[in-house]
Amino acid sequence: MHQSIDIARITADQPERVGPLLDVFAEGFEDAENYSSARPSPAYLTKLLGTDTFIALLATVNQEPAGALAAYELVKFEQERSEIYIYDLAVLEPYRRLGIATGLINALHPIAKARGAKVIFVQSDYGDDPAIALYTKLGSREDVLHFDIEVE
């Protein structure tokens, strides 16, 4: 059976498409608590999708959600440029090894270029070998320390 893969950006007039995006993250990360328990309202999503700082991409296979990417533009202060941070990227199990993750990242390139971004960057957890292999194939690795500072 032929699998038709489509990757599309979710825009401010499509807040209903964020549900399938969140479903992909909930299932792909096995984290329904964060991605399904307190979903934002359509008004919130319309506002978020309408900003210049948030980018959401949804990959479908034969019109079924298969992969998703959420990214943020970080506008820099030291020069007139920005960087794009891939915050979340997931592909559902039945659709892995079809090039969807690479396709999502490649779909981000023209958006980044249009915004004057210098680089697209992403973090990965130690032990997430498939993600590390993908990101190594697409870019150069930097080993950094990440710290979460709680807001009290």
Q: Which domain holds residue 69?
A: 5-138
120 with 83: CB under 8 angstroms? yes
- Predicted local distance difference test score (pLDDT) of residue 59: 98
Domain with 47 in it: what CATH number? 3.40.630.30
pLDDT tens, position by position, 128-151: 878 787 888 888 888 777 778 789
- For residue 80, is it within any domain? yes
84 with 75: CB under 8 angstroms? no
- For residue 150, is it within any domain? no
- For residue 90, is it within any domain? yes
- For residue 145, is it within any domain? no
In a 10 Å sphere around its CB, with 0-12 CB exposed, 13-18 middle and 19+ buried, how is residue 131 labelled? Answer: middle
121 with 85: CB under 8 angstroms? yes
Which residue's structure tokens are 């506008």?
Answer: 75
Average the pLDDT over each of 20-29, 63-72, 110-119, 128-137 and give the range with the smallest value.
128-137
* Kind and range of the H or E run holding 88: strand 82-91
- For residue 125, is it within any domain? yes
- For residue 144, is it within any domain? no
Name the token pair of 19.
């549900």
83 with 117: CB under 8 angstroms? yes
Question: What band does 20 get if pLDDT is binned at 50, 70 and 90?
Answer: very high
- For residue 39, is it within any domain? yes
Choose among 99, 80, 75, 91: nearest CA to 3. 99
pLDDT tens, position by position, 36-62: 999 999 999 999 999 989 999 999 999
- For residue 152, is it within any domain? no
pLDDT tens, position by position, 107-129: 999 999 999 999 999 988 888 87
Of residues 12 and 145, more confidently modeled: 12
Please give the tally of structural domains in the chain: 1
